[in-house]
Amino acid sequence: MTDRPLTLMAVHAHPDDEATGTGGVLARYAAEGIRTVLVTCTDGGCGDGPGGVKPGDPGHDPAAVALMRRQELEASCEVLKISDLELLDYADSGMMGWPSNDAPGSFWQTPVQEGAARLAELMRLYRPDVVVTYDENGFYGHPDHIQAHRITMAALEMTALTPKVYWTTMPRSMMQRFGEIMREFHEDMPEPDPAESAAMAEIGLPDDEISTWVDTIAFSGQKFDALAAHASQGENIFFLKMGKERFGELMGTETFVRVQDATGAAIPENDLFAGLR
């Protein structure tokens, strides 16, 4: 036994991603005395600028947006009581198909082995017991999420560490519920075309394929406040429109697929640290 604290490392693509998919577990495990390490891979420069100005529009300054989003990220980390924030600071690649995908220095253009080597250094430093990132499709196909997945899995291969490894996901039953709530908040929302509906149907997993369901309802207020800290991106954060109470009802459980484990903990499980304490 050592005095090293149990450690959770979450590898995310952009400022605000830490709150959306893992805000609950980050807050819960911090409250339980576990060291929480957040690695944010990009600077978020392809986010909205002041007043909602969009990337590519007049007045959008990626450097200024990145600075603003870093400040918001630090505020979110304070809300979630994250122990350590590490910034890889690659340029935000934007959504799939944007010209920014091809920009020199963008995360999407960074060789996987280069990004993985930097992340492996952090893994050796913090020696996480649990690592969380996205699946192969970055959950919904965002290039920076896909790249975060790739460098995380490559970094793990570069180290001799054997943490439990999880990919974020969402049960299809919850995806259906999200669709109903979005229509409730946007009564004039047009029906999606069949291709879009088919793509949405592929996001997440059938409920019985999810290995890990973590109760975070006691921390849903912190999660909401962490999302709200990213005020510049409020137009894109649908969940804030629900209000705290409704948000807590819907977002009180976070779900994952366990893809690496040396503990033998039975699944389904309700704790990322099952078998470690």
Rounded-to-integer distance, Cα 35 and Cα 25, Å: 12
pLDDT digits (tens, 9 = 90+) for 29-64: 999 999 999 999 999 999 999 888 998 889 899 999
Select from 37, 38, 42, 9 the least CA-distant residue to 110.
Answer: 42
pLDDT digits (tens, 9 = 90+) for 79-121: 999 999 999 999 999 999 999 999 999 999 999 999 999 999 9
Q: What is the pLDDT of residue 194?
A: 62
Question: Which one-letter DSSP state was computed for residue 203?
Answer: S
Q: What is the pLDDT of residue 109?
A: 96
Rounded-to-integer distance, Cα 256 and Cα 17, Å: 15
Residues of the chain with pLDDT under 70: 1-2, 175-202
Q: Distance of CA 194 to CAs 127, 141, 186, 203, Å?
A: 45, 18, 19, 15
Give yes or no for a contact between 169 and 131, defined as CB atoms under 8 angstroms apart: no
Sheet holding 130-133, edge to edge: 84-90, 35-42, 7-12, 130-133, 164-169, 253-260, 212-215
Give yes or no for a contact between 139 and 21, defined as CB atoms under 8 angstroms apart: yes
Give yes or no for a contact between 23 and 227, defined as CB atoms under 8 angstroms apart: yes
Is the bond into 268 cis (omega within 30 degrees of 0)?
Answer: yes
Rounded-to-integer distance, Cα 103 and Cα 111, Å: 13
